Amino acid sequence: MSVPATASKRSGRFSQLLFYALPSLMTSVAALPMALFIPAFYADELGLPLAAVGAAIAASRLLDVLTDPVIGVLSDRSRGRWGRRKPWMLMGTPLFLLAVWQVFVPPPDATVAHLLLWSALLYLGFTMIDLPHKAWGAELSSDYDQRSRITSVREAVATLGQIGILALLVVLALQGVEAAPAQLEGLAWLILAGTPLLVLLAVWRVPDGRPERFEHAPRGFVAGLRIVARNPAFGRMIGCVILFVAGIAIQGTLHRLVLKDVIGDASAFAWMLLIENVATLAMVPGWLWLSTHVGKHRALIAAALWLAAWSVPLVFLGAGDTALLMTLIAIRGSSFASVLFLSNSMAADVIDVDTLESGEQRSGLFFAVWGMAIKLSLALGVLLGTLLPAAIGYDPSGDAISPRVQTGLMVIYGLVPAAMMAAGALFLVRFPIDRSRHDQVRAELETRLR
């Protein structure tokens, strides 16, 4: 017997979408420092080797290779009063908060092992919140454009969270609180106070969609994974997201270090990121408009190439170029949120193709694989953003940085991410699921679900 879909083509008032997106406000507050603050903090303040710090953060993501599929599959199979997704978000919140404190406010004698352990647990708690949250969003609507609206609201709220923490850092700096330990402790308290409240609001105010499912032959877990593996559109999405996210993470890892050791103005760090995120948020409606007119995959290609093109001039900056750096970062970053919300919206469309073939809506499994790709890409970006500078002789704790090393650092900062973004865009050329193909898939699904 089939289970009828409850996700309408245009489900959800804006207020409901806003409540759904609220948990992203706090998870983004934690995610940003892991890429931008933590590597430099553990290397500069605690005196740990930069390459070892990068390796520890990268290694902590290896746990996700095991936990993401387990959480995704169990989330898909969960049944109960609170639906499939909400219980996992509630269970993940306490672990997430404990690990945030341990990573952001480490003891003075913290070692690389401390960072490795608590980063791994932080990412586990993050997965228990974020993976079901994204799967839940994919099930709120079956409409091609509405899915982009859902993911754009989620990414806009996440960007607002990042703007909030950057504004907090600016306020702290104006009050004379510029030390990294004090800043990270302030962020930790903010996360501890806000995350439980926002998760509870989302769980309370937004319904959990029932899964789409029709009769099919029984299959095991491995057989189900084979169906995922032979989905060509999903393979392309994994390829592009690995290059996109890793390239962005390289720049994120090096922002503070470039300001300190090339531009010579470390105090501009929070201001630069604040301006970048404001530009990102301001352009979300523009990229959403473009996606509704030319299609998601073409809009995503344009966003990636925009980011790549404006990364190239970064190579030519040097001492005193603070204003020019901030301008380029703002222009380059105006497409950042669109890369995230468009790729997530496209992933939801890919799941429909799998539902048609497999007979069940396995959003949790797909977003587990999707989340693994993103997390490993972030780890790759942090790893490259620390190992490549170390390979050219860069030492952030050194007293003086030679011009040769400064030039090499800017090449890593600008050209390497630009090349990765451009290469990632190639995966989207002639993407197999456009609006027309998605309408066909939905029509077939609706017929079989009756």
Q: Is residue 7 part of a domain?
A: no
Q: Is residue 91 part of a domain?
A: yes
For residue 88, the tally of other CB atoms under 10 A from its CB is 25
Average predicted confidence (pLDDT) for the chain = 86
Q: What is the mean pLDDT of residues 367-391?
A: 85
Q: Is residue 356 part of a domain?
A: yes
pLDDT at 120: 92
Q: Provide the pLDDT confidence category of residue 39 given band limits of 50, 70 and 90.
A: confident
pLDDT at 213: 60
User: Which of 82-91, 230-239, 395-404 is predicted least confidently?
Assistant: 395-404
pLDDT at 299: 96
Select the more confidently predicted residue: 418 or 333.
418
Q: What is the mean pLDDT of residues 241-259?
A: 91
Nearest to 252 by CA among 411, 435, 37: 37
User: Which of 35-49, 232-246, 378-392, 397-411 is predicted least confidently?
Assistant: 35-49
pLDDT digits (tens, 9 = 90+) for 152-199: 999 899 888 888 877 877 777 777 666 678 778 888 998 999 999 999
Residue 215 has pLDDT above 80, yes or no: no
pLDDT at 69: 84
d(CA 44, CA 260): 11
What is the amino acid identity at position 285? P
Nearest to 349 by CA among 441, 247, 230, 443: 441
d(CA 139, CA 147): 9
Q: Please give the residue range of the domain that contains residue 69.
A: 14-449
Residue 11 has pLDDT above 60, yes or no: no
pLDDT at 82: 76
For residue 294, the tally of other CB atoms under 10 A from its CB is 14
Q: Provide the pLDDT confidence category of residue 47 given band limits of 50, 70 and 90.
A: confident
Q: Is residue 2 part of a domain?
A: no
Nearest to 248 by CA among 157, 190, 333: 333
pLDDT at 184: 86
Residue 283 has pLDDT above 90, yes or no: yes
User: Which of 41-55, 204-218, 253-267, 373-387 is predicted least confidently?
Assistant: 204-218
User: Which of 48-52, 261-265, 279-283 is predicted least confidently?
Assistant: 48-52
Nearest to 342 by CA among 309, 370, 300: 300
Q: Is residue 392 part of a domain?
A: yes
Number of domains into which the chain is organized: 1
The CA distances from residue 436 to 29, 294, 354, in Å, are 37, 12, 17
Residue 95 has pLDDT above 80, yes or no: yes
The CA distances from residue 50 to 56, 80, 386, in Å, are 10, 46, 6
Is residue 237 within 8 A of residue 347, CB to CB? The reply is yes
pLDDT at 8: 45
d(CA 100, CA 392): 32
Select the more confidently predicted residue: 143 or 424.
424
pLDDT at 218: 59
Q: Is residue 208 part of a domain?
A: yes
Q: What is the mean pLDDT of residues 401-422?
A: 94
Residue 70 has pLDDT above 50, yes or no: yes
User: CATH code at 71?
Assistant: 1.20.1250.20
Residue carrying structure tokens 């029709």: 214
Q: Provide the pLDDT confidence category of residue 217 given band limits of 50, 70 and 90.
A: low
pLDDT at 5: 40
pLDDT digits (tens, 9 = 90+) for 223-240: 666 777 778 888 899 999
Helices 86-104 and 112-138: angle between axes, nearest 10 degrees: 150
Radius of gyration of the chain (CA): 21
pLDDT at 419: 96
Q: Provide the pLDDT confidence category of residue 450 given band limits of 50, 70 and 90.
A: low
* HEC string for the chain: CCECCCCCCCCCCHHHHHHHHCHHHHHHHHHHHHHHCHHHHHHHCCCCCHHHHHHHHHHHCCHHHHHHHHHHHHHHHCCCCCCCCHHHHHHHHHHHHHHHHHHHCCCCCCCHHHHHHHHHHHHHHHHHHHHHHHHHHHCCCCCHHHHHHHHHHHHHHHHHHHHHHHHHHHHHHHCCCCCHHHHHHHHHHHHHHHHHHHHHHHHHHCCCCCCCECCCCCCCHHHHHHHHHCCHHHHHHHHHHHHHHHHHHHHHHHHHHHHHHHHCCHHHHHHHHHHHHHHHHHCHHHHHHHHHHHCHHHHHHHHHHHHHHCCHHHHHCCCCCHHHHHHHHHHHHCCHHHHHHHHHHHHHHHHHHHHHHHCECCHHHHHHHHHHHHHHHHHHHHHHHHHHHHHCCCCCCCCCCCHHHHHHHHHHHHHHHHHHHHHHHHCCCCCCCCHHHHHHHHHHHHHHHC
The CA distances from residue 116 to 183, 279, 374, 397, in Å, are 21, 34, 19, 21
Q: Is residue 9 part of a domain?
A: no
pLDDT at 125: 94
pLDDT at 375: 75
Q: Is residue 6 part of a domain?
A: no
pLDDT digits (tens, 9 = 90+) for 317-346: 999 999 999 999 999 989 988 898 899 899
- At residue 213, φ and ψ (nearest 5 deg) are -160, 140
Percent of the chain with pLDDT over 90: 42
User: Which of 73-77, 227-231, 298-302 is predicted least confidently?
Assistant: 227-231
pLDDT at 219: 60
